[in-house]
Amino acid sequence: MSKKSKETNRNEDSIKARYTDANAADMPAVDQPITEMLEVNYMPYAMSVIVSRAIPEIDGFKPAHRKLLYTMYKMGLLGGNRTKSANVVGQTMKLNPHGDMAIYETMVRLTRGNASLLHPYVDSKGNFGKQYSRDMQFAAPRYTEVRLEKLCEEIFKGIDKNAVPMMDNYDGTLKEPSLLPTTFPAVLVNANQGIAVGMASNICSFNLSEVCAATEAYLKDRSVDLMDYMPAPDFSGGGLLLYDREQMRQIYETGRGSISVRSKYKVDSRNNLIEITQIPYSTSVEAIIDNIAELVKSGKAKEISDIRDETDLDGLKITIDCKRGTDHDALMTKLFRFTKLQDTFSCNFNILIDGSPKVMGVSEIISEWLKWRTGCIRRELEFNLEKMRKKLHLLDGLAAILLDIDKAIHIIRNTELEEDVIPNLMKGFDIDNEQAEYVAEIKLRNINKQYIMNRVADREALEKDIADTEDTLKRPERINTLIAKTLKEVSAKYGQPRRTELVSSQETPAFEETQVIPDYRLHLLLTRHGYLKKHTMQSLRSAGELRTKEEDEIFMAFEAENRSDLLIFTDKCNLYKSHVYEFTDTKPGDLGHFLRSELGMDADETPVFMISTQDYKGLFFVAFENGKAARFPISAYETKQNRKKLVNAYYDGSKAVGFLLLSEDEDPDLVVTNNVDKAAVFKSSLIPLKTTRTTQGVQLLASKKGSILKSLNRLEELDVTDPEYYRIRKVPAIGYYIREKSLEAKQISFDDMN
C-alpha cells in the first residue's frame, strides 16, 4: 500500500473513531472540517478521474480505449472475422466495470463508421452514427459488428514480448497492459478529448505521414523546426484551416491555443445553390442548419430561400437554395461570420506522463513519446535476448550429445526407471536438468547426425543474434534507427493524403458586419431615468410631443449614424459599449429602450452620459465635485476584443458632475460653476491632455470652505453677458462670483437638435 493510501486510511479511521466516541457518550456528532472532507472524499475521486478516466496517456489512449482494444485483441479480432459488438462489450466488462453502454459508446467513437478519428482503430459494419451529426443515433450493439483495423498491428506489436508492463484488472482475475506499445505517436495522430476534475484535455489530430516524418527528423536533430514537416493539424472531417504560422507556432510551443476551421463548399450556379461538403470537426450538421435558420428569421440572410440536409451514404452534404442575383461567395463569407460554418478548435495538449498530467508542446510530446518508445523496444529486446539465451542453453546440451549419440541412446535404453533417465543423462554428458529434459524429449526419428548438425548450425546463428541484440541494447543510436525504420514503414503502409486544406488567414476574405447593416442618420435621446430613444430623422420631424415617463425628462440629444459604436457611461464609473444598430428604431410615443435591463446594469446603476463614434477620434472631458477636471482621448475606450463592459471607465475618487465630447481640432470655451456661486470660463486646452482614462486630472477650481463643483458646460450653451469677467488663464483658480442674471442656461429645443 502506498504512503498516500495509508495516510488516507488513517484519516478515515480517526474520523470514524471520533464519531463513534461521540455517539457512545450520547453527545452530538462533531462536524467534519471541510479540509478533511476534501482530503478524504473529494481528492481521491478527483485524482481517479484525472489518472484513470479522462486524460490520455503517452500511448494516445484513455483507460477505456485501452481495455476495449486489448479485449478485442485477445478475442482474435485482429485479422479475424467480425463479431457482434455486444460480444465485445460483454468481454470488455471483465476489464472495465463501468457498464455496457459506456463501453459501447467508447467503441462507437473508435470505429470507421463514426468517422471521429483520422485513422480508426475498429473496422465496423452497421450504423455507428456520425461524428458530424448531433441527432443521428448509433444502432444497438446487438445489430452491429466489429473487428480491429489493420493499423492495430502497430498498436499491439511487441505486446506479447513484454514490451509494456502488465497489471491486474479491477478484481485481480486477469492481466491487462498498463499502456499499449504503439509504434507511432498515436497521441498526435488521432483527436482525443477529456474533461476531468479541475482540468481538461483537448488534443487535435495530425496527419500520420507528417507526424512520422517529423518524429524521424526530431530523432536526428532535436532543434529541428517541426512545422516544416507537420505544418498544422489534420481533421477527419476535412475543411479549410485558416493558417497563421506564428499562431500555430505558439500552439506547438505551449500546447494551448485556438485553430479556426472553415467549411468547404461548392457553388452550383446553374441551379443557384450552394453545397457544403465538409464542416469543422467541432460542430455538427444540425447546429449549422439551426444557425442559418435563425439568421434567415432575423433578416440577416435574406438571400437564402431554403436549406436542407442531404447527407446520405455518399457523405455529408448541406444544400442552400439561394434567391436570384445572390453573390454566393459574399453570402458564404457572411455565413462564416455568423454560423458554425466556421468554428474554432481549442487546443489543450494535456497528457499523463508517469501518472501526472502535463500540458506540453508538440516537440515535448514527441520527446516524451520517444523516451517511452525506447523503453518499450528495450523491454522487447531484453525479452528476445532472454528467450535466445534459454534456447542457446538447450542447444549447448544438444551439442554435447553430438560427441556420442550412441552413448545417449545406450543410457536411455539401459535405464530401468523412467524417472532415472534425466539424472543419468545429466551424469553421462555433464549437462543440467533443462538440457537433459530437452535431449530426452527429442523424437526417435530425430536422433540422427543430420538433425543434430542442423541444430548446431542454428546455435551459431543464435550466438550471432544474441551478440547483435546485446550490442543494440548498449547503443542508443541503434534503437533510434529501429524507431526510424518502423516510422517509415508505418507511414508507407498507412499514410493518407492530408484531408484538411491550409489557407492563409491573411488572404481569406473576412466578413464586414457593416455590409448587411443599413446606415442612416438618426437622433439619439437619453432620459434621466435611463431610457434610450432612437428616432429616424423623418419620425422626429413629424413628431409632436415626445413621450417620457412621469417625472422623467430628456437631458441628452444628438445625431448619430446607425453603424456607430455607442458608449454609455454610468454613475458607477462603468462604461457599457454597444452598437447603435443593436437598438431598434422607436416611435415618438414609445418610452424607448430601458438601458439598465438591456445592457445588464446593476439595479442601482444609472446612465449619466453617452456618445457615439465610428473611429474613436476625439477628446473626452470630465469634471469632478472635488474641483478637478481631466481631458484624454476617447481612443482609451477602444478594445480589440469587442468587450461589452469596461469598469473604471473614469476616475472614481470623486463624483463626476459633467461630461463633454470634444473634437481633436477644437479648443472651445467651457464654463464650470460650484455651490458657492462661483464660476470660471476657460479654454479646454488649459487642462493638460492625459493618456489614461482613470486619470484624476488637475485641480481646476480650488476647493475652499467645503465648496464642490456642480456643473460643466460649453460657453455656447449658456447665456453669459460678460464671459471675460469669468475668464481664468491658469489652474488652479478660485473663480469669480456669479453676477445676478449674467449666467443662465439656454432652453434646449428640438429645433436646436435639428
**Shared domain check, 671 and 594:** yes
In order of 523, 609, 630, 634, the CA distances from 619 in angstroms are: 21, 14, 10, 5
> Is residue 49 in some structural domain?
no
- Of all residues in the chain, the percent with pLDDT exceeding 90 is 64
Q: Are residues 386 and 423 in the same domain?
A: yes
The pLDDT tens digits for 677-687 are 899 999 999 99
Same domain, 490 and 518: no
In a domain, 99, yes or no: yes
What distance, in Å, lies between the first and last C-alpha atoms of the chain? 85
Q: How many domains is the chain built from?
A: 5
Residues 77 and 20 in one domain: no
281/410 same-domain check:
no
pLDDT band at 750 (very low <50, low <70, confident <90, very high): very low
Question: Residues 576, 670: one domain?
Answer: yes
Q: Which domain-ending residue is among 181, 212, 233?
A: 181
675 lies in the same domain as 709: yes
Please state the rounded mean pLDDT for residues 446-461.
Answer: 79
CATH at residue 423 = 1.10.268.10
Asked which of 158, 181, 204 is the last residue of a domain, the reply is 181
In the numeric block, the cell 446603476 is attached to 605
Q: How confident is the model at residue 538 (pLDDT cuts 50, 70, 90)?
A: confident
* Domain-located, residue 250: no
Domain that holds residue 562: 513-753
Catalytic residue among 42, 143, 170, 737: 143
In a domain, 227, yes or no: no
C-alpha distance from residue 110 to each of 116, 196, 647 (Å): 7, 20, 48
The cell 547483435 sits on which residue?
468
Distances in Å between the alpha carbon of 698 and those of 487, 623, 686, 702, 709? 70, 10, 10, 10, 13
Q: Is residue 282 part of a domain?
A: yes
- Of the listed ranges 72-81, 401-410, 521-530, the least confidently predicted one is 401-410
Q: Cell for 288?
A: 449549422
Q: Are residues 380 and 477 in the same domain?
A: yes
Mean pLDDT is lowest, of 177-186, 594-603, 698-707, for 698-707
In a domain, 414, yes or no: yes
Statement to judge: residues 334 and 445 lie in one domain: no
What pLDDT does 511 receive? Answer: 66
The number of CA neighbours under 13 Å toward the Cβ of 22 is 12
Give the distance, in angstroms, between the CA of residue 282 and the centroid of all CA atoms in the same chain: 10
Instruction: Return mean pLDDT, the chain.
Output: 88
Query: How far is the C-alpha of 410 from the C-alpha of 685, rounded, in Å?
Result: 123
- Please determine, for residue 283, whether its predicted confidence score (pLDDT) is greater than 60: yes
pLDDT in tens, 18-71: 434 444 445 455 677 888 887 788 888 888 888 888 899 999 999 999 999 999
Indicate the DSSP class of residue 93. T
Distance CA 639, CA 55 (A): 36
Is 116:236 a contact under the CB 8 Å cutoff?
yes
Residue 665 within any structural domain of the chain: yes
C-alpha cell at 17: 473513531
Q: Could you tell me if 603 and 736 lie in one domain?
A: yes
The beta strand positions in 549-606, using DSSP E, are 554-561, 565-570, 575-579, 593-594
Least Cα distance to 298 among 265, 339, 263 occurs for 339
3-state secondary structure 297-357: HCCCCCCEEEEEECCECCECCEEEEECCCCCHHHHHHHHHHHCCCEEEEEEECEEEECCEE
pLDDT of 752 above 80: no
Residue 732, preceding bond cis, omega within 30 degrees? Answer: yes
pLDDT digits (tens, 9 = 90+) for 294-334: 999 887 888 899 999 999 888 899 999 999 888 898 899 99
Which domain CATH number covers 588?
2.120.10.90
Relative orientation angle of helices 476-494 and 362-402, to the nearest 10 degrees: 110
Query: By the 8 A CB rule, do 534 and 612 touch?
Result: no
143 is a catalytic site residue? yes
Instruction: Give the C-alpha distances (Å, rounded to integers) separating 329 from 237, 279, 468, 615.
Output: 22, 16, 63, 28
For residue range 610-637, what is the model confidence (pLDDT) as tens digits?
999 989 999 999 999 999 999 999 999 9
Q: What is the CATH number of the domain that holds 290?
A: 3.30.1360.40
Contacts of 587 (CB under 8 A, 6+ apart): 535, 539
Q: Is the pLDDT of residue 567 over 90?
A: yes
3-state secondary structure 347-372: EECEEEECCEEEECCHHHHHHHHHHH
Whether residue 81 is found in the same domain as residue 139: yes
- Show Cβ contacts of residue 679 under 8 Å, excluding neighbours closer than 6 positions: 671, 672, 673, 726, 735, 736, 738, 743
537 in any annotated domain:
yes
Domain boundary among 151, 181, 211: 181
Does 381 share its domain with 475?
A: yes
